[in-house]
């Protein structure tokens, strides 16, 4: 029993020593060829940097679009002489729609008062309002769950008898015409930017894997005699492959640190300018700051995965293990 225990301890000790040797050889390989190391790390850094920006940009876009959607109201204009019973019936009908989240009615008097308050410093506009004979329409301000989906609202407006009897023929609803196109552009722009980010990330991942693949291949070629000798003396496959895996992981580790530093720096420097254009970047910055450790760890894991896959492909093909 004691002999078996000692044997297991020796085996574990030998495995630990072998693991440490693989780590040492892998780190040595990383620093052996400076130019290849710089090239592989640089490409990996660009790849992780693009991935970092894609993820953060998507989050910023989502927050910005949500804010814009909250600010966008669909408006249905009705005649200024509409009766209170009709207003209540239309309001209840709109609130019953599954796509509608909120409904507010602005009376012609309130609309006129709001317009005057908004243009208090414009004397010419105020004089024109006082002299105007036409009255402001009543307005139903409607918030939708999805501003790009106005089908249910449109059908209600076009088919409801009370709405059709009181709708202002001189003003089309805001979900039609040019205003509808502007609203839909918000969602399309966000989706397009997200797809571009994903596409760019995939392209750079492939490029990075090819660079690391070739780097490991050249390292194998330069050490072919040493590798052949290790095979002849009966070295295990894992021991021969291990240093190359470690080397690739080290590429990913340093690239992740550099890419994270560049990404954080760029985001914080660009934040004031982005906010001046009404881009909602602050929630993303707060999230990145609070979870900075997890962000960096995630970047390291992504870099390590890219390096491991590239190294495994190279060693499998060129070591014939």
Mean pLDDT score, 76-105: 88
Q: Which has more confidence, 96 or 32?
A: 96
Question: Collapsing DSSP states into helix, strand and coil, what is residue 258?
Answer: helix
Q: What is the pLDDT of residues 155-164, one digit of tens each?
A: 998 899 998 9
Using an 8 Å Cβ cutoff, are 101 and 143 in contact?
yes
Per CATH, domain 74-173 is 3.30.930.10: no
Alpha carbons 127 and 31: distance in angstroms, whole number: 78
Residue 22 in tokens:
């693989």
- pLDDT tens digits, 171-218: 888 765 555 565 566 667 666 766 776 777 788 778 877 877 777 777
Residues of the chain with CATH 3.30.70.3040: 74-173
> What is the side-by-side order of every strand in the sheet holding 74-78?
74-78, 138-144, 100-106
The answer to whether residue 75 scores a pLDDT higher than 80 is: yes
pLDDT at 299: 92
What global pTM score does this model have? Answer: 0.67
Is residue 57 a contact partner of residue 285, using CB atoms and an 8 Å limit?
no
For every residue of 137-192, DSSP letters joined together read PEEEEEEES-TT--HHHHHHHHH-HHHHHHB-TTS--TTSHHHHHHHHHHHHHHHH
CB-neighbour burial class of residue 185 (10 A; exposed 0-12, middle 13-18, buried 19+): exposed
């Amino acid at each position: 029993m004691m002999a078996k225990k000692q044997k297991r301890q020796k085996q574990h000790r030998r495995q630990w020593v072998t693991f440490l040797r693989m780590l040492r050889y892998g780190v040595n390989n990383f620093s052996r060829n400076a130019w290849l190391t710089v090239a592989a790390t640089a490409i990996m850094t660009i790849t992780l940097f693009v991935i970092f920006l894609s993820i953060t940009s998507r989050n910023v876009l989502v927050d910005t679009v949500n804010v814009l959607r909250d600010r966008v109201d669909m408006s249905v204009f009705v005649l200024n002489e509409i009766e209170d019973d009709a207003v209540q019936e239309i309001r209840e009908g709109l609130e019953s729609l599954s796509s509608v989240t909120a409904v507010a009615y602005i009376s012609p008097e309130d609309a006129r008062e709001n317009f005057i308050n908004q243009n208090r410093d414009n004397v010419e506009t105020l004089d024109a309002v006082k002299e105007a004979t036409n009255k402001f329409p009543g307005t139903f301000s409607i918030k939708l769950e999805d501003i790009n989906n106005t089908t249910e609202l449109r059908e209600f407006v076009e088919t409801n008898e009370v709405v059709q009897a009181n709708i202002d023929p001189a003003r089309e609803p805001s979900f039609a015409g040019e205003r509808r196109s502007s609203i839909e552009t918000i969602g399309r722009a966000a989706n397009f930017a997200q797809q571009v980010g994903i596409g760019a990330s995939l392209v750079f991942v492939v490029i990075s894997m090819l660079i690391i693949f070739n780097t490991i291949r050249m390292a194998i070629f330069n050490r072919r005699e040493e590798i052949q000798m290790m095979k002849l003396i009966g070295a295990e496959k894992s021991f021969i492959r291990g240093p190359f895996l470690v080397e690739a992981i080290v590429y990913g580790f340093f690239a992740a640190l550099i890419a994270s530093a560049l990404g954080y720096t760029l985001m914080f420097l660009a934040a004031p300018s982005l906010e001046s254009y009404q881009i909602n970047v602050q929630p993303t910055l707060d999230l990145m700051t609070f979870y900075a450790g997890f962000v960096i760890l995630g970047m390291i894991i992504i870099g390590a995965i890219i390096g491991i896959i590239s190294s495994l492909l190279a060693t499998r093909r060129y070591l014939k293990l």
